[in-house]
Structure 1
Amino acid sequence: MHLEGTVLRGREFEPVEGRVVVEDGTITNIEETETDSTDIILPAFVNAHTHLGDSIAKEAGEGLSLDDLVAPPDGLKHRLLRAASTEEKVAAMHRSLRMMERGGTAACLEFREGGVEGVDIIRQALDGRDIEAVVLGRETEAAMEVSDGFGASGARDAEFGELRNATDNAGKLFGIHAGERDSLDINPALDLDPDFLVHMVHPEPLHLERVGDSEIPIVVCPRSNLVTGVGVPPIRELVERTTVALGTDNVMLNSPSMFREMEFTSKLAAVPAAEVLRMATINGADIAGLNYGLVEEGRDAKLLVLDGDTDNLAGAKDVVRAVVRRAGMADVKDVYL
């Protein structure tokens, strides 16, 4: 198989005219050559932080605080999840996963509520879908053991030292929310030496220094932070110090669209468009240990093809900037997952 058009090549997303050659699901060559195609070929997205379970309750809880919305064990989200049947949760999550696929998302890093049962529910929702989910169980060590790791709610909610050690001994990912409400739980989260942090809306200078020294990756979810009223993360300052990836967070609060997250982030933060595209692709892939997120030889061919001749994209002078700030679901021509 080969795909022709403007290829956003490598980590810098250099726009080159040519074709991507794929053999047995692997990118084997990127050939520079003249082509009549107006397609734009880029890596499929990696959504680095999702909570798909609350797909059952989109736009519920208007006006509630962050704690009232999502804090365990009795935030609105958790009450609704307990009240929903397994069939309802599987069906709703399946639809969100299908939407993500159609929008060019190859994988998500899912913080999965509900212990072992919650992990089983998302496995059911993934049946028949091409998208990959790196599932981090929550609440119990058993959930970590049957999933890809552990996703901790936050250092203020519980003591996670033993679970961190168990996850490390199992050779799995450990992620934790930090700095979402305020700065008080950031140092305890960093003390756990996690594989990544989520949110970091309120880091103080000491925390930024620690992040820079440790180079612990951070996943930011600025649309979610805005909706819950906690503020927005200092994205430029974080990018200057470590790897930063993008996530869409709770489906209850936001659509799981990486197009929307990129546009919002690019217009909010003083970082180049290519950096935002890295945040939506290779940076999340690197956190999860996935062999995609870039168009380069040897990578798995998880690719997104946009029609560069849509009314929305035609005439773009800066292709990367147009992809990040302007492209949307209507511009998707093909998705290869």
Structure 2
Amino acid sequence: MELSGTILAGPEYEPLEGRVVVESGTITGIEEVETASSDIVCPAFVNAHTHLGDSIAKEAGRGLSLDELVAPPDGLKHRLLADADRSELIESMRRSLSFMTAGGTAAFLEFREGGTAGVEALLEAAEGADIEPVVFGREEIDVLEVADGFGASGARDADFAAERTAARKADKPFGIHAGERDAHDINPALDLGPDFLVHMVHAEGIHLERLEDGDTPVVVCPRSNLVTGVGTPPVAELLERTTVALGTDNVMLNSPSMFREMEFVSKLCDVTDRDVLRMATAAGADIAGLNCGVIEPDREARLLVLDGDSDNLCGVQDPIRAVVRRAGASDVRNVVTPPK
């Protein structure tokens, strides 16, 4: 397979005219040649934080606080999940996965409620879909037997030392929400030695200093933070110290659109469009341990092809800026994923 057009190549996403050569689901070469194609070829997105179970209750809970919406065990989300029919839950997640795939997302990191049964429902929803689930189970240690890792709600909710130890013993990643409501749970979360943190809206100087070795990546979800009224994460400051990836968080609060998330961050935060594209691709892939997110030889071919001659994108002068700020699902010509 060959994909031609403007290629956003390498770790810096440098635009070049040419083609990407793919064999058996792996990028084998990038050739800089003249081409008649107006397509834009970039890495497909990795959504680094989702809660897809919320697909059963989109836009529910208007006017509720963060705790009233999502805090375990009695937040609105948890009550709705407890009452949901399993087949209804699976179908609603399947529909969200279809939406994500059509919007250029090739992989996602899911914090899945419901213990082992919740993980199994998500995996059933993802069967046959052209998207890679990386599932972080919750609520019981035994979930590590079926999940790819453990996703903790937050250090204010419980002592997750046992879960952290179990994840380490199973050689699986441990992620945890931190600094979403306030700063009080950030140091306790960092003390657990997590593989990544989610949110960090209220990161302060002492916390930023602890991130300076770059060993603890952060996933930010700014649209969700806006909806819940908790503030805006210090994205630029976080990027100076560690890997920062982008997630869309609860489907109840926002559509799982990486196009919308990128545009929001690019226009709200003092970061470059190249940084934002990396947050939406390579950074999430690195956290998930996936060999994608960059167009270069020996990477998995998880690629997004945009129609550069669409009514929306024709005349674009800066393809990186166009992908981050302007493009949308209607511009997607193709999403390439490795054969299963």
TM tier, smaller: over 0.9
Query: What's the CA shift string for 1:265-306, capped at 9, x where partnerless?
Result: 000111110100000000000001001111100001110000
Aligned to 2:27, the other structure's residue is in SS state strand
How far did 1:253 drift? 0.2
Cα contact 2:308–2:314 (8 A) shared by 1: yes
Percent of residue pairs identical: 69
1:238 counterpart residue number:
238
1:263 counterpart residue number:
263
Cα contact 2:2–2:21 (8 A) shared by 1: yes
Cα contact 2:214–2:241 (8 A) shared by 1: no
2:169 counterpart residue number:
169
How far did 1:144 drift? 1.9
2:211 counterpart residue number:
211
1:89 counterpart residue number:
89
1:135 counterpart residue number:
135
Residues in 1 aligned to 2:192 and 2:155: alpha-carbon distance in whole angstroms? 9
How far did 1:145 drift? 2.0
Cα contact 1:215–1:241 (8 A) shared by 2: no
Please provide the CA RMSD for this pair: 0.6
Evaluate the alpha carbon distance shift between residue 218 and residue 58 of structure 1 in structure 2; reply closer, same or farther with a 3 A threshold.
same
1:43 counterpart residue number:
43
How far did 1:215 drift? 3.0
Residue 119 (structure 2) pairs with residue 119 (structure 1): yes
Give the 5 Å matches for 1:1-337.
Answer: 1-213=1-213, 215-337=215-337
Between 189-198 and 126-135, the greater mean CA deviation after superposition: 126-135
Residues in 2 aligned to 1:142 and 1:90: alpha-carbon distance in whole angstroms? 21
Residues in 1 aligned to 2:56 and 2:128: alpha-carbon distance in whole angstroms? 20
How far did 1:204 drift? 1.0
Residues in 2 aligned to 1:324 and 1:130: alpha-carbon distance in whole angstroms? 22
Cα contact 2:138–2:150 (8 A) shared by 1: yes
Query: What's the CA shift string for 1:197-244, capped at 9, x where partnerless?
Result: 000000111001011135310000000000000001000000011000
Between 137-146 and 34-43, the greater mean CA deviation after superposition: 137-146
Residues in 2 aligned to 1:24 and 1:144: alpha-carbon distance in whole angstroms? 31
Aligned to 1:22, the other structure's residue is in SS state strand
- Unpaired runs of 5+ in structure 2? none
Q: TM-score if structure 1 supplies the norm length?
A: 0.99
Counterpart residue type for residue 41 of structure 2: I
Query: What's the CA shift string for 1:71-114, capped at 9, x where partnerless?
Result: 00000000000111100100000000011111111110000000
Residues in 2 aligned to 1:117 and 1:307: alpha-carbon distance in whole angstroms? 40
How far did 1:250 drift? 0.2
Cα contact 2:104–2:304 (8 A) shared by 1: yes
Cα contact 1:175–1:194 (8 A) shared by 2: yes
Aligned to 2:211, the other structure's residue is in SS state helix
Cα contact 1:208–1:238 (8 A) shared by 2: yes
Q: TM-score if structure 2 supplies the norm length?
A: 0.98
Aligned to 1:119, the other structure's residue is in SS state helix
Aligned to 1:264, the other structure's residue is in SS state helix
Aligned to 1:212, the other structure's residue is in SS state coil
Residues in 2 aligned to 1:162 and 1:251: alpha-carbon distance in whole angstroms? 29
Residues in 2 aligned to 1:298 and 1:244: alpha-carbon distance in whole angstroms? 24
Cα contact 1:273–1:324 (8 A) shared by 2: yes
Residues in 2 aligned to 1:59 and 1:107: alpha-carbon distance in whole angstroms? 24
Shift >4 Å, 4+ stretches: none
Aligned to 2:30, the other structure's residue is in SS state strand
Query: What's the CA shift string for 1:163-185, capped at 9, x where partnerless?
Result: 10110010001000000000000
